Amino acid sequence: MLTTTAHLYIRRPSPTTAEFTVTTRPALTLPLRLALLSLSILRLTLFFVILFTLYTRFLTTSSLHSSPETNPLLLALASHLHTLHLSPAGQALTRLVAPIPAWLLAGISIPLLCFTVAWELHTSESLLVLRGLGIQTSTTGGFPWGSWRPATRFIPTEKIRDVLINEAFRGFEVRYYLVVVVEGEEDVVVVFPKLLPRRKIVEAVWRGVRGCLYEANDGMWYGVGKG
């Protein structure tokens, strides 16, 4: 399939740096690349179809020539859209959406539009540990409500009181999760909040983080590979 269950990648560019990434993306093989490419094309097509549907429904009423627009680029775009609208496919689409009330059409297509643009198939969350500097958590994927860039958070070393594994009720189950206790903050920072990987991964990351952050580097490496 296109996604897998969350699994762990560890990168160690230098002895004092480690990046733990938990992701749902499987290893990129050729068939997977092709599938992902076709999925992107599908999404792009869907995006333009929806956009065009909105155009045929809401913007074609105003006459092309009465428009006060003088920008030649926009004029060209408008004329192209108009020809497309008058084409058989455009007419068919117009007839298809005609019986749907305007509010319903807008209500369906606008969220769908956002979805095709913003939604990411794979969720990946990472924890970057730099000895002496601090740790940085970041989350990408899913639906980035509110912000477009990956949500990152940097916690300097002197602010870190502890890194620990805790258990909590979540929905109908009890989950293990990794937390960073930050000095002077009421709430702890949950690492990998979206994926909440299983105990094996959480433990591996915990050992790795403590090894990288606190323990003297004597060649002993606590991370135990991929989860």
Q: Which of 87, 24, 26 is nearest to 60 (CA)?
A: 87
Cβ of residue 200: shortest distance to other proteins, in angstroms? 8
Query: In angstroms, what is the minimal distance from the CB of 175 to other proteins?
Result: 8
Residues 6+ apart with CB under 8 A from 22: 6, 7, 8, 9, 124, 125, 126, 192, 195, 197, 201, 205
Residue closer to other proteins by CB (options 27, 174) is 174
Bridge partners of residue 190, in order along the sequence: 179
Question: Who contacts 126 (Cβ-Cβ below 8 Å, separation ≥6)?
Answer: 19, 20, 21, 22, 137, 138
Residue type, 222: Y
Report, in Å, the least distance between residue 50 CB and other proteins.
34
Partners of 214 in the β-ladder: none
Nearer to other proteins, 45 or 166 (CB): 166
Which residue, 158 or 187, has its beta carbon nearer to other proteins?
187
Instruction: Using the minimum distance from each CB to other proteins, give the nearer residue, 20 or 177.
Output: 177
Q: Which is nearer to other proteins, 47 or 222 (CB)?
A: 222
- Interhelix angle 30-58/102-118, rounded to 10 degrees, is 150
Q: Which residues bind other proteins (CB under 8 A)?
A: 166-169, 172-176, 198-200
Query: Least separation, in Å, of the C-beta of 169 and other proteins?
Result: 6
CB of 42 to other proteins, least distance (A): 30
